[in-house]
Amino acid sequence: MEVVVTLHIHDEGLQCLPKLEIKEKSIRTALQKLISFWPALHIWNWERKRPEWLLFALYQLCENLLDRPTSPMLDVFLANKAYEEEKQIRAIETTQEQCNPIRSLTQQEIIFAINYTVAYLEHLHVTEKLFEVNAGKSISALVKEYRCGNLDDKYFQMNEFSFADFKAGDRDRDLAQKIDRQLREDIIARRNERMASRLDNILSSNPQLTVFSAIGTGSAR
C-alpha cells in the first residue's frame, strides 16, 4: 500500500494533494474520524491539503487522540475573546510558517514519511496493537512533563515511536530516523527560537504594554 501524491493547480497556486489508498478498514475509518474531529482541517477542502497535513494526521493516529474529539480549541477561544474585547492581537508566526512548519524536508521525504507511517500503522493493526496507549510516550505525557519543567532532550530521545518489531530495511529505517530528527529540529527547536525572538521584540519595543502571550505546549519548551 502506498499513498499517492498528485499535483493540483488552483487559485492559490501549485499544491500537492494526498490521495489515500489505505486498505486496512480500521485505519481508514480511524483517519476519517480524526479528520472529522480536527477543526483545522475544515478551513479548506481536504482534497486541497498539503501532504504535511496528512502526515500530521497520521502521526496523531499513533496517539490516543481519537478518545478526545471534543477537546476545546483554546487558541481559537483566546483569539475570539481578544477580538470581542477589542484587544490588539500580534502574531509571532506567519501564515506560511503555520501552513508549512517542516520546511527543511523535501517533498519526497514527506511522501516517504507518509508511506512509512501508514506501513507502521498497518503493522500495528496486524499485530493487534493499533491504538494501544503508551502512557510514557503520549502527547498527554508531553504536556505533563512540560508543566513540571522536565522537558529536556532526553525526553525527546525517549519519546520516539517504537519500531522494534516493525520490519523495515536499513536504508528506510535510517531515512525515517533522519526525518524524525529533522521534524523535531523544525517544529521544536527552530520554531521556538523564531517565536521567542519575535515575542522578545514585541516586549522590548512596547515596554508600556501589558502582554498576554499564548503558545501551545507542542511549541514551547
Tens-digit pLDDT profile for residues 194-207: 989 999 998 999 88
Domain boundaries of the chain, sorted by first residue: 2-10+42-213
DSSP-H helix ranges across 38-106: 51-61, 74-84, 95-99
What is the residue-averaged pLDDT of the chain?
A: 68
Tell me the residue type at 125: H
Residue predicted with more confidence, 132 or 97 = 97
What mean pLDDT comes out for the span 8-32? 45
Give the integer Cα–Cα distance in Å for 146 and 221. Answer: 7
DSSP notation for 132-158: ---GGGSHHHHHHHHHTT---HHHHHH
Cα→Cα distances 40→54, 66, 166, 185, 186, Å: 12, 15, 31, 23, 20
Residue predicted with more confidence, 151 or 101 = 101
Give the integer Cα–Cα distance in Å for 83 and 207. Answer: 22
Instruction: List, for residues 82-106, the tens digit of each pLDDT value.
Output: 889 988 888 888 877 877 777 788 8
- pLDDT of 75 reads 73
| For residue 172, pLDDT beyond 70 | yes
Alpha carbon distance, N-terminus to C-terminus of the chain: 37
Q: Mean pLDDT: which of 52-56, 122-126, 182-186 is highest?
A: 182-186
Tell me the residue type at 91: A
Is the distance from CB of 130 to CB of 64 less than 8 angstroms?
no
Tell me the residue type at 4: V
- pLDDT of 204 reads 92
Residue predicted with more confidence, 9 or 143 = 143
**What pTM did the predictor assign?**
0.61
